[in-house]
């Protein structure tokens, strides 16, 4: 025991070096952890590129999904398959069934146009947007289209690299 203490005391500098290195190891490890930590929860606007990506993807998806031509309902159906998921998908199926039934008689076309889409929340692969959308509907019997101005709260999720709309709620 005494011999060990003696050795330690003789090599005090070496012991100190080992302790300092251990401390340095801890410091580097903590630095790594701190750098990996995300101190920004909501990356909307903060991450410009990701914000623009989800903005344009959702706007494009809504235009395709909310436009409808009685002569070509398959296009809308295909869009729904590609761009909707979750609750939005189920909601859409109900709506679409009703539309498909009455549209041919009325020769109905719907044309959607996004006025502005803004990202409220962006957390990795999930986003929430506020969208102002116009929808023009025209029947064969109408001289002019009638327009509706919608305010939508839209939920989106990125699956396999593609943003899909999972919720559309009119305000």
What is the spatial distance between Cα 82 and Cα 72, in angstroms, rounded to a whole number?
Answer: 16
Q: Tell me how far, at minimum, the Cβ of 171 lies from other proteins, in Å.
A: 5
**Which residue lies nearer to other proteins by CB, 96 or 111?**
111
Task: Answer whether 90's CB lies under 8 Å from 135's CB.
Answer: no
What is the spatial distance between Cα 45 and Cα 121, in angstroms, rounded to a whole number?
Answer: 9
**Which residue lies nearer to other proteins by CB, 3 or 98?**
3
**Which residue lies nearer to other proteins by CB, 78 or 115?**
115
**3-state secondary structure (DSSP) of residue 148:** strand
Q: Tell me how far, at minimum, the Cβ of 13 lies from other proteins, in Å.
A: 4
Element of type H or E holding 167: strand 162-170
Residues that bind other proteins (CB under 8 A): 3, 6, 9-11, 13-14, 16-21, 23-28, 30-32, 34-35, 38-47, 113, 115-116, 118-120, 129-130, 132, 134, 136, 145, 147-149, 151, 153, 171
**3-state secondary structure (DSSP) of residue 169:** strand
**Which residue lies nearer to other proteins by CB, 80 or 114?**
114
Q: Tell me how far, at minimum, the Cβ of 138 lies from other proteins, in Å.
A: 12
What is the spatial distance between Cα 136 and Cα 120, in angstroms, rounded to a whole number?
Answer: 26
Angle between helices 73-83 and 86-106 (to 10 degrees): 180
Question: Radius of gyration over alpha carbons of the chain, in Å?
Answer: 29
* Listed residue (169, 65, 69) closest to 120, CA to CA: 169
Q: Tell me how far, at minimum, the Cβ of 57 lies from other proteins, in Å.
A: 16
**Which residue lies nearer to other proteins by CB, 151 or 162?**
151
């Amino acid at each position: 025991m005494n011999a060990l203490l003696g050795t330690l005391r003789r090599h005090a500098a070496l012991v100190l070096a080992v302790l300092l290195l251990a401390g340095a190891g801890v410091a580097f490890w903590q630095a790594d952890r701190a750098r990996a930590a995300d101190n920004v929860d909501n990356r909307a606007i903060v991450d410009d590129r990701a914000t623009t990506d989800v903005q344009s993807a959702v706007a494009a998806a809504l235009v395709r999904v909310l436009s409808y031509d009685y002569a070509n309902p398959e296009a809308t159906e295909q869009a729904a398959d590609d761009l909707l998921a979750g609750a939005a998908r189920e909601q859409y199926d109900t709506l679409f069934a009703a539309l498909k039934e009455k549209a041919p008689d009325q020769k109905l076309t719907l044309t959607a146009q996004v006025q502005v889409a803004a990202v409220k929340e962006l957390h990795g692969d999930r986003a929430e947007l506020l969208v102002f959308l116009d929808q023009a509907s025209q029947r064969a019997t109408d001289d002019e289209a009638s327009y509706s101005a919608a305010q939508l709260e839209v939920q989106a999720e990125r699956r396999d690299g593609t943003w899909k709309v999972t919720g559309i709620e009119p305000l």
